[in-house]
Amino acid sequence: MEDVLTGFDLTVGSGDAGISLHHPVIASPMAGVFDPPYRRILHDLGIELSYTEMISSRGIYEGSGKTEEIAGWIPEIGCSAAQIFGSEPVYLSHAAKEMERMGHHMIDINAGCPKRKVLVQGSGGALIRTPERLLACLGAVLDSVRIPVSIKIRSGYHTFEKGPFLDLVKDISSIGVSCIALHPRTVAQGFRGSAERGLIDEVSSLVDVPVIASGDVRERSDVVDYLRRGARAVMVGRALMGDPLRVKRLINGGTHDPLSTVEGIREHLKRAREHLVHSVNHYGERRGCVRFRSHLGWYTARFPGRKRIRDRIFHVSSTDETMDLIDNIEREWTSIPSTGNIKYSR
């Protein structure tokens, strides 16, 4: 079953700017979720390459104060791809240079975001409807930096149209990108239905650059399935929300659910505490705690007493208060006698 993982090795890009990966699991760009503090936790657990949340190229061009907060990264933690969005080559080119200067290892262009406020600017998923603009944007970024450049696309805008889509992918691959990430759902589909995995087979056999598959990866078997279809790596998004230990399972295999044992729950909440500390260091005390609230909601999604503590989670505003709450959760969660064998469903 794991033949495709034996001796896994992948280099994205070339020369001294190439990124070497020793396993195929990459953390997706996830706006509002995979921020620098959480990405740090994922890297501690073995992730080698993670993406920033999508960042407005225009915002970077205009010197928005948010850039440092979203894109601030310590390169020693691991490889970081800065994902930028926009539809103006001049903004994208400037943003790419700035991200390279900040120490990111790769630039990714978002050509898949289905959010209305992004689409109305002709950016994100809207770029798929304007192939010439998309290629002009990519060309401008490729000319601006020496680190690898990639693109993350969906399988179409309203509907999947095989001919035009495959033509676009061919054009993208021949322009000089180092890899293509494909989330095989259309923009209009949002996150509904399932990812169309068969499209990974087609695209992988069509292009020479590595294809990274995104969509519905939850277990190691999903990783193996995508690699067998020709993907060279996979991205994981929603399955890692509030569940960083899943990284170990995705990378090393096994089916053990850590939250089915007391030790596992302790390890899970230990990561939550570390995450809180990173969050406070990154955003400051109050904002760090406020930003951490949603994460704590995800960390405790399977805690049987969750409904009771929901209100408390969404009111914590200091480190002490949040640590106390996590301590209480741990005491209660680990004292449930039957925890050992129960698999709580999400």
Ligand X SMILES: Cc1cc2nc3c(=O)[nH]c(=O)nc-3n(C[C@H](O)[C@H](O)[C@H](O)COP(=O)(O)O)c2cc1C
Residues of this chain that bind ligand X (CB under 6 A):
28-33, 53-54, 83, 110, 112-113, 152, 183, 214-217, 236-239
The residue (of 113 and 259) whose beta carbon lies closer to ligand X is 113
Cβ of residue 120: shortest distance to ligand X, in angstroms? 17
The residue (of 19 and 109) whose beta carbon lies closer to ligand X is 109
Cβ of residue 234: shortest distance to ligand X, in angstroms? 8
How far apart are alpha carbons 241 and 246 in whole angstroms? 10
Cβ of residue 273: shortest distance to ligand X, in angstroms? 23
Nearest to ligand X by Cβ — which residue? 237
CA neighbor of 134 nearest in space, from 100, 109, 165, 161 = 109
Q: Does the active-site annotation cover 179?
A: no
Q: Contact 214/152 with Cβ under 8 angstroms?
A: yes
DSSP states along 140-187: HHHHH-SS-EEEEEES-SSS--HHHHHHHHHHHHHTT-SEEEEE-S-T
The residue (of 28 and 279) whose beta carbon lies closer to ligand X is 28
Catalytic residue among 79, 113, 179, 289: 113
What tokens does 316 get? 């914590």
- List beta partners, residue 27: 50, 236
Instruction: Give the other-Cβ count within 10 Å of 66's Cβ.
Output: 11
Q: What φ, ψ does residue 211 adopt, rounded to 5°?
A: -105, 130
How far apart are alpha carbons 187 and 108 in whole angstroms? 18
How far apart are alpha carbons 196 and 207 in whole angstroms? 18
What tokens does 40 get? 């740090």
The residue (of 185 and 333) whose beta carbon lies closer to ligand X is 185
The residue (of 238 and 306) whose beta carbon lies closer to ligand X is 238
Instruction: Say whether 38 sits in a helix, a strand or coil.
Output: helix
Cβ of residue 28: shortest distance to ligand X, in angstroms? 3
CA neighbor of 96 nearest in space, from 105, 107, 104, 81 = 107
Cβ of residue 299: shortest distance to ligand X, in angstroms? 16
As annotated, the active-site residues are 113
